[in-house]
Structure 1
């Protein structure tokens, strides 16, 4: 990445987004887990489940506060660092962000307060409703953010207005039901559930290794293993759906992830391993698995997946059509004052307007795209290819970790069903050391999604290079360093608070004697029967 104004602005947003997403998935996943735990408490009346809910809820609260603190800045960055982007697509992008703000700060934050301070003021059932509202608010907040992000990946329900030079909503329902946004939502939320499940699993494993809070730890591990196994399997299924949609809406991203330089005949093979070489435009020592990519990417055995070389040729055609649209746009705007638009200009724009964004790729090389040389057009076409090697390896790290999570949660699910969670101390240590891995997988997923979209900030509509604010590189660099410093301090505070709460452990009620325990468990056993 070139560290000019565009590169620095991208880096700043990437850093703040990745920092913020350290807190988001744990908030989303823990909210569901504590709601499940409190549901069991209300159904059975057993105090150990209330102790579990309060303990994991305290960790949720710490993480929630940090997530809010780091998330506020991101929305302001759209106006500070990406002012032309905000002008160009604000009519579309602003609505989901506004609704997300309402969800996060009115619905979710209100019920979070009731969750913590309502234990002695609300009945069991009312407090349970509050807890589920917290979980619902957390997930709905993610929904609206991902609707906005999904629109950036697949801009539907909007049209460019030549008079205002803005994208304007034409079908808000299409924005809401955008298939890319819906796939991203369920995939991202499932990944968040995995993060929370392995967090609970790892900390509970630490308690078992230390011989502390054994009753609470075993029950927490049972819930986390079951929930985590279901979530891990769903991530794979929903990730497959995202790959299929990429074939339709983001062909270049898929080709870059696969390091697929040439179009392969159907069904395309999956490159399990290799060393992409972007300069030579080939992948060295590639190991292919026949048919797999065709099945994932097209759900068929007779549809080819275009390679990078062919997609670049298509981009070159799109750029030339975009230049026609750009020329027509200048004519339309020049005639705007008189109100008389030449019919041929209007017809040219209507025929080629969808490729206008491709003409803007030429702004990197020439002020007026109409003056671009054939060499500059060819360079701009190759600019549509993201850096292949980072995408290739990041995607495979994410997939490998996802398979590991399935194996790990399945192992603990099996042990839990046989009441042998303490049987293998080495496996408990694996669970403990695996706590950071879901975060790594989630951050890899976001890297693939966002870095793979380059050079577009809005796929096919607005290049990243023309979306930035008119700021000096020094200003952006100074704020970048400031954000890194502040966010690092917040991360350290988060870790100290979380580790302090974990070392202290939950406040447990005394375990009743065996006879009383059997009497207390009777309603729970009846429910099982």
Structure 2
């Protein structure tokens, strides 16, 4: 679903770019509309599935879930756990240097109640806690923030589209909203990468949670060999990204040739048909 939403925002953003530049407006109005319909179906499902997976995480990987929320102290069942909107977790001191929190918010999210126990990071020895807790905390919030921003953009666009459905303006959406679509093109990619960081960094130090540590699962290769292969991967994928942006940019700027005639249709004839013709 995340990949589908990302693709639909690319389609919608490119369509909005053409409409802003008043090129093939009617054609790209249709493609923007199709992307919008798809997003109205996909983005709410993505949020729902993400919420279900997040709640399950508190039962299957509680240390990871606590790191995502920078929640250190396990609260009693009769009290509510605070939800940290923003904070700065300090693993060395085993607390947050500062935090902006909503009382009872985390219990409401996890237990759907104003009170309820939520396991904190201090229930795990530091060696079993994820590293780079601030990275996990903030990449998760970037992912969630972008997800809701994308959903909001789709909903607002749908409402404006419906209200202006009888307008004679070919662009159908106002300029500011079309610009938002163009800006939203990379949002899906960023949100997906942030989700990957949360998943992979958050499960550390385990390769198999609670059973096999990463340090026991990795092959014993010298550091220079690992660094060399990593640098090669980074160089190759950076080159591929640059080439993709260059060629994709050229194709987009050039635009489709809607006046080009399609090739003539030639029916495929089977061998049996040819034999019958000879007879």
What TM-score range do you get, normalising by the shorter chain? 0.7 to 0.9
Counterpart of 1:286 in 2: which secondary structure?
strand
User: Is this contact kept in 2: 1:275–1:284, CA < 8 A?
Assistant: yes
1:246-265 equivalence runs, <5 A: 246-265=57-76
Q: Is 1:223 equivalent to 2:34 in the alignment?
A: yes
Aligned to 1:383: 127
Partner of 1:495: 245
Q: CA deviation at 1:422?
A: 4.0
Contact in 2 for aligned 1:205/1:217 (Cα 8 Å): yes
Deviation at 1:195, TM superposition (A): 0.6
Q: Structure 1 residue 496: deviation in Å?
A: 1.9
Post-superposition offset of 1:290:
3.3
Deviation of residue 493 (structure 1)? Answer: 1.7
Provide the aligned C-alpha RMSD in A: 1.9
After TM superposition, the structure 1 stretch with the greater mean CA deviation from structure 2, 400-409 or 247-256, is 400-409
Task: State the shift of 1:191 in Å.
Answer: 1.4
Structure 1 residue 228: Cα displacement? 1.5
User: In structure 2, which of residues 127, 133, 137 is the aligned counterpart of residue 392 of structure 1?
Assistant: 137
Paired residue for 2:188?
438
TM-score, normalised with respect to structure 1: 0.46
Please state which structure has a larger fraction of its residues in helix: 1
Structure 2 matches for 1:128-277, cutoff 5 A? 190-266=1-77, 267-277=80-90
Unaligned runs of 5+ in 2: 261-279
Instruction: Check conservation: 1:268, 1:305, Cα contact below 8 A.
Output: yes
1:295 is displaced (CA, Å) by 3.3
Aligned residues: 252
Q: 1:423 to 1:225 in 2, by over 3 A?
A: closer
Q: 1:209 to 1:279 in 2, by over 3 A?
A: same
> Is 1:411–2:224 an aligned residue pair?
no
The secondary structure found in structure 2 opposite 1:304 is coil
**1:300 Cα deviation (Å)?**
4.7
Q: Please, which of 469, 485, 488 is the counterpart of residue 219 of structure 2?
A: 469
SS at match of 1:383: helix
Aligned partner (choices 289, 292, 300) of residue 105 of structure 2: 292
Distance 2:257 2:158 in 1: 26
Secondary structure of residue in 1 paired with 2:128: coil
Deviation at 1:209, TM superposition (A): 0.9
Q: Secondary structure at the match of 1:211?
A: coil
SS at match of 1:493: helix
**TM-score, normalization: structure 2?**
0.84
Deviations 1:36-86 (A, max 9, x none): xxxxxxxxxxxxxxxxxxxxxxxxxxxxxxxxxxxxxxxxxxxxxxxxxxx
1:459 equivalenced with 2:209 (yes/no): yes
Where does structure 1 lack aligned partners over 5 or more consecutive residues?
1-189, 313-380, 511-529
Does the Cα contact within 8 Å between 1:247 and 1:298 map onto a contact in 2? no
- Counterpart CA distance in 2 for 1:431 and 1:467 is 43
* Post-superposition CA distance 1:283-320 (Å, at most 9, x none): 2332222333223323455541111112x1xxxxxxxx
CA distance in 2, matches of 1:244, 1:279: 27
